[in-house]
A and B are shown apart, each in its own frame.
Chain A
Amino acid sequence: MGQTLAQKVYEQHVVRRTEGEPDLLYIDLHLVHEVTSPQAFDGLRAAGRTVRRPDLTMSTEDHNVPTTNLLAPIADPVSRAQVEALRTNTAEFGIRQAPMGTRDQGIVHVIGPQLGLTQPGMTIVCGDSHTSTHGAFGALAFGIGTSEVEHVLATQTLTQRPAKQMSVRVDGELPLGVSAKDVILAVIAEIGTGGGQGHVIEYRGSAIEALSMESRMTICNMSIEAGARAGLIAPDETTFAYLQGRDHAPSGEDWDAAVAAWRELRTDDDAVFDREVVIDAASLTPYVTWGTNPGQGLPIGAAVPDPASFADESDRAAAESALAYMGLTAGTPLREISVDTVFLGSCTNGRIEDLRVAAELLRGNHVAADTRMLVVPGSVFVKQQAEEEGLDAVFTAAGAEWRGAGCSMCLGMNPDQLAPGERSASTSNRNFQGRQGKGGRTHLVSPAVAAATAITGRLTAPADLQTAGA
Chain B
Amino acid sequence: MDAFTTHTGTAAPLRRSNVDTDQIIPAEYLKRITRTGFEDGLFVAWRTNEPDFVLNKPEYADASILVAGPDFGTGSSREHANWALLDGGYKVVISARFADIFRNNSTKSGLLTVVLPAADVEALQDACETDPTLAVTVDLVAREVRWADRVSGFEIDDYTRWRLLEGLDDIGLTERHLGDIDAFEAARPAWKPRTLA
Q: Are A117 and B193 in contact (CB under 8 A)?
A: yes
For the complex formed, measure the closest distance between the CB of A82 and the CB atoms of chain B, giving whole angstroms.
5
User: A154-B171, A432-B23 known; A293 and B18 CB under 8 Å?
Assistant: yes
Q: Are A413 and B30 in contact (CB under 8 A)?
A: yes
Count residues of A near B (Cβ-Cβ below 8 Å): 87
User: A129-B75, A156-B181, A434-B45 known; A145 and B104 CB under 8 Å?
Assistant: yes
Q: Are A42 and B35 in contact (CB under 8 A)?
A: yes
Interface residues of B in 101-126 (CB under 8 A from A): 101, 104-105, 108-109
User: A117-B193, A156-B181, A317-B17 known; A194 and B174 CB under 8 Å?
Assistant: no
- A433: B residues at CB distance < 8 A: 22-23, 45
Q: Are A413 and B189 in contact (CB under 8 A)?
A: no
Map CB proximity to A onto B18-50 as digits: 1 under 8 Å, 0 otherwise.
101011001110111111000000000100010
A198 within 8 Å of B (CB atoms): yes
Q: Are A155 and B175 in contact (CB under 8 A)?
A: yes
Q: Are A55 and B23 in contact (CB under 8 A)?
A: no
User: A150-B171, A159-B170, A318-B18 known; A194 and B71 CB under 8 Å?
Assistant: yes
Q: Are A57 and B195 in contact (CB under 8 A)?
A: yes
Interface residues of A in 53-89 (CB under 8 A from B): 54-58, 63-64, 76, 78-79, 81-82, 85
- Pick the residue among B158, B170, B180, B192 that contacts A20 (CB under 8 A): B158
Q: Are B180 and A434 in contact (CB under 8 A)?
A: no
- A194: B residues at CB distance < 8 A: 70-71, 74, 97, 99
Q: Are A129 and B101 in contact (CB under 8 A)?
A: yes
A369 within 8 Å of B (CB atoms): no
- Pick the residue among B28, B105, B184, B188 that contacts A147 (CB under 8 A): B105
Q: Are B27 and A411 in contact (CB under 8 A)?
A: yes
Q: Are A145 and B101 in contact (CB under 8 A)?
A: yes
- Pick the residue among A82, A95, A258 that contacts B191 (CB under 8 A): A258
Which of B79, B99, B180: most chain A Cβ within 10 A?
B79
B190 within 8 Å of A (CB atoms): yes
Q: Are A144 and B77 in contact (CB under 8 A)?
A: yes
Interface residues of B in 144-160 (CB under 8 A from A): 157-159
- Pick the residue among A36, A85, A438 that contacts B79 (CB under 8 A): A36
User: A96-B196, A144-B77, A194-B97 known; A15 and B17 CB under 8 Å?
Assistant: no
Q: Are B99 and A314 in contact (CB under 8 A)?
A: no
- Pick the residue among B49, B75, B173 that contacts A430 (CB under 8 A): B75
Q: Are A28 and B159 in contact (CB under 8 A)?
A: no
For the complex formed, measure the closest distance between the CB of A105 and the CB atoms of chain B, giving whole angstroms.
14
Residue of A at shortest CB range from B159?
A21
Which of B71, B173, B178: most chain A Cβ within 10 A?
B71
A148 within 8 Å of B (CB atoms): yes
Interface residues of A in 125-179 (CB under 8 A from B): 127-129, 142-148, 150-151, 154-157, 159, 161
B100 within 8 Å of A (CB atoms): yes
- Give the distance in Å from the alpha carbon of A314 to the alpha carbon of B101 in the complex: 22
User: A36-B79, A57-B195 known; A413 and B31 CB under 8 Å?
Assistant: yes
For the complex formed, measure the closest distance between the CB of A153 and the CB atoms of chain B, giving whole angstroms.
9
- B45: A residues at CB distance < 8 A: 433-434, 438
Which of A81, A148, A154: most chain B Cβ within 10 A?
A148
- A447: B residues at CB distance < 8 A: none
For the complex formed, measure the closest distance between the CB of A311 and the CB atoms of chain B, giving whole angstroms.
14
For the complex formed, measure the closest distance between the CB of B122 and the CB atoms of chain A, giving whole angstroms.
10
- A154: B residues at CB distance < 8 A: 171, 174-175
- Give the distance in Å from the alpha carbon of A293 to the alpha carbon of B97 in the complex: 16
A363 within 8 Å of B (CB atoms): no
- Give the distance in Å from the alpha carbon of A430 to the alpha carbon of B76 in the complex: 9
B69 within 8 Å of A (CB atoms): yes
Q: Are A151 and B177 in contact (CB under 8 A)?
A: no
A261 within 8 Å of B (CB atoms): yes
- B184: A residues at CB distance < 8 A: 15, 26
User: A146-B79, A193-B71 known; A157 and B174 CB under 8 Å?
Assistant: yes
Map CB proximity to B onto A2-19 as digits: 1 under 8 Å, 0 otherwise.
000000000000011000
User: A117-B193, A155-B174 known; A227 and B99 CB under 8 Å?
Assistant: yes
- A227: B residues at CB distance < 8 A: 71, 74, 99-100
Residue of B at shortest CB range from A78?
B31
A298 within 8 Å of B (CB atoms): no
- A128: B residues at CB distance < 8 A: 76-77
Q: Are B195 and A434 in contact (CB under 8 A)?
A: no
Q: Are B191 and A15 in contact (CB under 8 A)?
A: no
A443 within 8 Å of B (CB atoms): no
- A129: B residues at CB distance < 8 A: 75-77, 101
A122 within 8 Å of B (CB atoms): yes
Q: Are B33 and A38 in contact (CB under 8 A)?
A: yes
Given A63-B30, A229-B100, 13 other A-B residues pairs in contact with their CB atoms under 8 A: A15-B184, A29-B193, A35-B78, A64-B31, A129-B75, A146-B35, A154-B174, A155-B174, A194-B70, A228-B100, A430-B75, A432-B75, A433-B23
Per CB-CB distance, the 5 closest pairs between chain A and chain B, nearest first, are: A147-B108, A145-B105, A145-B79, A38-B33, A254-B191
- A residues within 8 Å of B by Cβ? 15-16, 20-22, 24, 26, 28-29, 35-36, 38-39, 42, 47, 49, 52, 54-58, 63-64, 76, 78-79, 81-82, 85, 94-96, 116-117, 119, 122, 127-129, 142-148, 150-151, 154-157, 159, 161, 193-194, 197-198, 224, 227-229, 248-250, 254-255, 257-258, 261, 293, 314-315, 317-318, 321, 411-413, 430, 432-435, 438-439
- B residues within 8 Å of A by Cβ? 15-18, 20, 22-23, 26-28, 30-35, 45, 49, 69-71, 74-80, 82, 97, 99-101, 104-105, 108-109, 157-159, 170-171, 173-175, 177-178, 180-181, 184-185, 188-196
19 A-B pairs (CB sep. < 8 Å):
A16-B177, A22-B159, A35-B30, A52-B181, A56-B194, A122-B192, A143-B77, A145-B105, A145-B108, A148-B105, A154-B174, A157-B174, A194-B97, A197-B97, A197-B99, A227-B99, A254-B190, A318-B16, A434-B26
